[in-house]
Amino acid sequence: MNVLDKHISIRSRLGWYVLVVATAVLGGLWIFLSREPAGATSYTLTEAPFVGHLAPDFTLSSIDGGDVTLSSMIGRPVVLNYWATWCPPCRLEMPHLQAASERYSGRVLFLGINQAESEQLIRDFRAEYALTYPLLLDPNLTAHNLYSVLNVPTTIFIDPQGVVREVIVGAVNAAVLQDRLERLLEE
């Protein structure tokens, strides 16, 4: 290798070193300048509807007529069950919800909130499963959106003070229902 080739090789490597150092300096400067200022509010994502916080209030129509307002139920535990007739896990858990609603009748309120299906479809479903607890219509998905329900079934347990205690996404069985309801009644 002659002197000229060595000079070009050293110059190439020097260029790469300068590029790497410049990138590191600029990256460090970017991180420094884009950091969050001290004392700034930081936000954390929390599971909706915020376990440990008051349950968002809503008013929905029942398939039996009349309106149901969640906040009017303060004083007793409430179980909100978001469901749809086309949902196999919803169909699986319905007998458990019905049995629990009978067992805890007068002590726990059960509300089934349907996912924007027709009233007749809901009535037929109620008859098929012999459901006796209130089934509510949510044609515009108002309560679904208020509670950020993305999947059905979703079951929300609310204590007598109106505070959300637990959110379960997916089907619940009899044992889980009994455990959660007994906990709510102890409060």
Domain holding 74, by residue range, is 59-186
- Residue 31 and residue 99 share a domain: no
- Residue 13 and residue 104 share a domain: no
Task: Tell me the C-alpha distance between 12 and 14, whole Å.
Answer: 5
Report which secondary-structure segment, H or E, holds 165: strand 164-169
Mean pLDDT of the region 94-121: 97
Q: What is the pLDDT of residue 72?
A: 96
Residue 50 lies in a domain: no
Mean pLDDT of the region 30-34: 69
Helix axes 88-103, 119-129, angle to 10 degrees: 60
Token readout for 109 is: 């309120």
- Residue 82 and residue 13 share a domain: no
Instruction: Decide if pLDDT at 40 tops 70.
Output: no
Task: Tell me the C-alpha distance between 36 and 131, whole Å.
Answer: 53
Residue 49 lies in a domain: no
